[in-house]
Amino acid sequence: MVNPILVALDVAEASHAVHLAGVLAGEVGGFKVGLELLSGPGPATIGAVSGAGRAPVFVDAKLHDIPATVRRAARRLGSLGARWLTVHASGGGAMLEAAVEGLAEGAAGRDAGILAVTVLTSLDQNALREVGIGETPGRLTSKMARLAAETGCEGVVCSPMELGVVSTVAPDLVKVTPGIRPEGSPRHDQKRVATPAEAIAGGADFLVMGRPITASPDPVAAVRRIVGSIGW
């Protein structure tokens, strides 16, 4: 692994995503292809980004449907080159197991793993109450992490605030952490955030970072500053 940074390619055009991946080739640990690219240019972007960036692709599809549908979608995304694929842990154990099985079928022997999404970094206690959830983000993440481990997921996506909780209840899970902002950067729509150094110190295995890198006039320099801040 070059470093733990997964660059979120949250852009509208495949050509832009492929260009950024090419610029950052050899500089980062991987790239995130999310809903904007999947619903626009389409899932073929996965292979194009992987080829240009010479790094694994984290497909942030956040699947959440009945198990049979999720299994078929995971199989398809695995066949297109997904190294990691996100699925909402709130879909339940049967759905997570179906995703694990489908991704493995699609990857056909290549390394690939499901990441269970716990509590989005845009949600806080008040937002959870709005949808009838009385538990704290920490308690909910704890339950979801246990379920992810029991169903064969490779890891979880969790906020920096819940890294310790995940390490305690499911220490073998890979922890992928969004909501990462360099010191002094705006939070935008994220509520539970940390700096790169704070997240690494808290136990994160991978840091998902978008705008602080992709919106920079010099993305390579931005990555190198972040890498320096975590002592990689």
Q: Which of 62, 143, 175, 191 is catalytic?
A: 62
Residue with tokens 């902002």: 181
- 191 is an active site residue: no
CA angle (37, 38, 39) in 5-degree steps? 95
- Residues ≥6 apart with Cβ < 8 Å to 118: 89, 140, 141, 144, 145, 156, 157, 158, 159, 162, 166
Determine if residue 30 is left, alpha or beta; phi over 0 gives left, psi from -120 to 50 gives alpha, anything else beta.
left
Q: CA–CA separation, 152 vs 25, rounded Å? A: 31
Q: Looking at this protein, which amino acid is placed at residue 153?
A: C
84 forms bridges with which residues in the sheet?
Answer: 58, 113
List residues with catalytic annotation.
62
